[in-house]
Each structure stands twice: as structure tokens, then as C-alpha cells.
Amino acid sequence: MMKKRPVIGVTTQTLEAIPDQLPRCWVMSQRYVHVLSKSGAVPWVVPLLPEDMDTVRAIYEHLDGVFLPGGVDMDPSSYDEAKRPECGRTDLARDATEIQLLRWAMEDRKPVLAVCRGVQVMNVAAGGSLYQDLGTDVAGAIKHDYFPCGVRQRDHLAHDIRIERGTRLASLLGSESVTVNSMHHQGIKILAPGLVATAFASDGVVEGAEAVGDHFMVGVQWHPEDLTDADERMRRLFGAFIDASCDYRDVRVLSGV
């Protein structure tokens, strides 16, 4: 009998209204949904409802895992800083919804996989802060903002990262060094309590973080979903998340929760 597929929440982003054409919408790249589905999940696209957390909670209760995708910058108000000109477009509704989902998941030890913006949200939700712009804030920063343009695609391998031995990420990828794509200009500044840094770029910028202990809460600063076609290590990352979500669901069913 085929094993029941875990339900994975995928958060969205606000698309502002286009006058006389389109009302406000929630959107997210289909790539995340396709990769999660191919990895064995049932993706559930989650709306942003900070004014209706009862509904968000009801959705959360049906989830076996939480996936946080990339997107616009986090608003610095979420980590008690004033927004500077270097900070790009933000989405307060997304910040509030994702932070709450993460805090529930941390309380319940529900599996989390977070990519790019997602690992930044994970850090802020756990009590950390961000650099608003790496080029401005980090002396000697390498280029991290290899956004797709012209002939450059989202799977462009931009720079190497060093993975910390003994971490869950090192075990999953089976490598001490990986070349990754890179599409961000913000990054982890102060690492939150309860998290450990798992990977670094050559300039010292944190490229990965995970929960201390056995809670599967893994975040990476690159976009592994765009590398799964060519890199078995990235497929293992998604596969491990799906397995952890299955285990979480099975324990919950056995306990009658």
C-alpha cells in the first residue's frame, strides 16, 4: 500500500492590485509546489491572513510540515529596526503570517524547511536579526545577489559555501563544500538562540541554520528547488524533509492528537 503523503504548507506573497485589472492577490512560484509534490508531499498553498489567525491556525493544524519559500525582503520592524533605503520591497502580511507559523511549528516541533528569505524568517521568528543589505553592512562581502537576468538563470552556480561538520545539513548533503545559486541581498546578522549556523560563504555570511537538537527545522540561504534536477544532494534535502513530516504525522496519529 502506498504510504500516505504528508501535507506541507507553502506560504504565499502579496501581489498588489493593478487598478481596473486585478484585485490584490496571493502568489507563489509553482516551482516550489512541483518540487515538493515530486518529493512525495501534498502541497497546501497558505494565504496571508494576519487579521484572521484563527483561520491560519486551522490550516496549520492540517499540516504535517511547513515550507517557507523565497521572496521579498523582511520588514526590519519584525526585528526592531528602522527600515533603511537599502531594504527593498516588503510584505508585512507575509512577515506576520510566516513568523506565527514558525513559532507554532517550534512549539510543536513540526518539521520546517526554509529557503532563502525563509531561513531569514526562521531566524527572526526565533529571536534573531538580519543585515538589511549585505553589500552595505558586511565589510568584504562577496556578491550574493545573482538574480536572474539576461542569459543567467535561477540555477546559476554563484559561489561556494562551507558546511559545518556534525550538523544535520552536513549529514543530509554528505559534503563539506557545495557550490550554490544565490539570489539574496539580506542575510542573518545575529543568530537566534536555539539555532546553530550550518554553512558559511567565504565572506563569513551565514548560508544555513538549523534547530539545536532533533527538531527538523532546517534553513538554507540558497534556492535548492532550482538545483534538484541536476544535484542529488538537493533532492536528498527535500526527501529528508518529507520523511520527517511523515514521521511527525505518524506520531501524531498514534498519540491521537
Determine which one of 98, 207, 210, 225 is catalytic: 225
Is 246 one of the annotated active-site residues of the chain?
no
Is 116 one of the annotated active-site residues of the chain?
yes
Nearest to 52 by CA among 97, 101, 119: 97
Determine which one of 144, 210, 223, 246 is catalytic: 223
- Grid cell 500500500 is found at 1
Is 87 one of the annotated active-site residues of the chain?
no
Alpha-carbon 175 to chain mean position: 21
Determine which one of 116, 184, 207, 246 is catalytic: 116
Q: Which residues are catalytic?
A: 116, 223, 225
